[in-house]
Amino acid sequence: MHFTDFDTETFLRDYWQKKPLLIRNPWAQWVNPLEPDELAGLACEDDVEARLVSHAEGALTAEDGPIPAERFGELSPDKWTLLVQAVDHFVPDVAALIEPFRFVPNWRIDDVMVSVAADGGGVGAHFDHYDVFLIQGLGRRRWQIGAMCDDSTPLLPHDQLRLIAGFEPLEEWVLEPGDILYVPPGIAHNGVAVGDNCMTYSVGFRAPSRAELIGDFCDDLLDAMSDDDRYGDPGLPQQDNPGEITGAALDGLHAMLLESLSDRAAFARWFGRYNSTPKYPEIDWRPEVPVSAAEIVSALASKVPLLRNPASRFSFIRQDGGAVLLFADGECFECRGETAELAELLCAQTAVLVVDKFIRSAPAVELITSLYNQGSLAFEADD
Ligand code: SIN
Ligand code: CO
């Protein structure tokens, strides 16, 4: 699936993180990648995150998955919607929907949530903290767009849903199959199914909060800190008032903090690992018995492409001298020369046919073996 009618440069310059954009069917040929029944089947499974939102007596209620199969038989004919998270991790044709959006780097991509709704179904007016492309897959949905919101925007009292109080639409459109609505973070939006079998694919992005960056980086720094590493004041000057915490003392204390936080190399390693940590570790591609490098070589020699686990986030950070740090599933691999080239290839493509020069390189094979054994990669022929 690819776009024939979409200008990435204009989009990034004028819309990304700035304002909503309705993109009328930009695909070469739009094909809905999943049937409503298949989505309902996924929602019944234990390791899949799902939610059923329905209107009951004028109010929205949410039921968290797994949804018992018999529940679908009891639903009213209208005003419900079923939402399933990270469907791209399970369905390759849904994962393929991310490909046209790779103009945004891997580390910013979250996953694809899929919803199916009966006539009048929707999750109510809300805002998200992330960018999203809402792709209309099947059926029709009316989308309304409202004002920019933030954490001070009044919400309706609701235990499970963050619904905006007094939502006022500024614009609205009815989306047809293949149409896409881009919604930047914070913009209020409300989607209501027009007719049954309304399927929406949300290609969602992620951006760490400052609180998350500081909290999680500090936790990582703390793990490596010793109790001996302490403030000291040899040469303590006499002070007039023993009650004062002097500017000089404060400078020394503050410097201890900044020294640790400003270690950019440590931050880079931590961030790569942190960002690549899987959100759903249940999607486990690890082989039952770890394979050896020799087994990897013979599989590579038979020209079977390597596939990235769609739940694994691959990214790299360049180092001085052409080396790269490769990150996948919370692990960091230092790669040089040919192996660095291979690491970049693995980050650029979801499937890689490994050429002979890598098969002849022991460090490159070692990297593939490690990634295979930790479940980040598999061969296309593997089950
Ligand atoms: C939906 O698919 O109904 C909801 C998507 C969203 O608003 O984020
Ligand atoms: Co939303």
Maximum alpha-carbon separation in the chain? 81
Ligand 1, CB cutoff 6 Å, lining residues: 81, 115, 122-123, 128, 132, 134, 189, 191, 200, 202
Q: Whose CA is nearest to atom 6 of ligand 1?
A: 202
Instruction: State the amino acid at position 217 in one-letter form.
Output: F
**Distance in angstroms (rounded) separating the CA atoms of residues 168 and 161:** 18
Residues of the chain under the 50 pLDDT cut = none
pLDDT digits (tens, 9 = 90+) for 231-252: 999 999 999 999 999 999 999 9
Angle at 179 between CA 22 and CA 141, to 5 degrees: 90
In the reported structure, the alpha carbon of residue 141 is separated from the centroid of ligand 2 by a whole-number distance in angstroms of 13
What pLDDT was estimated at residue 383?
62
Tokens of 196: 């049954």
Whole-model pTM?
0.94
- What percentage of the chain carries pLDDT values higher than 90? 92
Nearest-angstrom CA–CA distance, 347 and 73 = 43
Specify the pLDDT at position 283: 81
Atom of ligand 1 nearest to the CA of 132: 8
**Pocket residue to mutate for ligand 1, from 111, 113, 197, most atoms within 8 A of Cβ:** 113
CA distance 377 to 331: 13
| Nearest Cα residue to 350 out of 132, 108, 103, 95 | 95
Question: DSSP code of 237?
Answer: P
Domains 8-205 and 293-382 alike in fold: no
Distance in angstroms (rounded) separating the CA atoms of residues 371 and 339 = 13
Residue 2: predicted pLDDT: 87
- Considering only the top CATH level, what class is 293-382? alpha beta
Query: pLDDT of 298-307, one tens digit each?
Result: 999 999 999 9
Closest ligand 1 atom, CA of 202?
5
**What was the pLDDT predicted at 256?**
97
Nearest CA to ligand 1 atom 4: 123
Sequence spans of domains, the chain: 8-205, 209-227+255-270, 293-382
In the prediction, which pLDDT does 356 show? 95
* Paired strand residues for 333: 326
Taking only the tens place, the pLDDT of each residue in 190-202 is: 999 999 999 999 9
Superfamily per CATH, domain 8-205: Cupin (2.60.120.650)
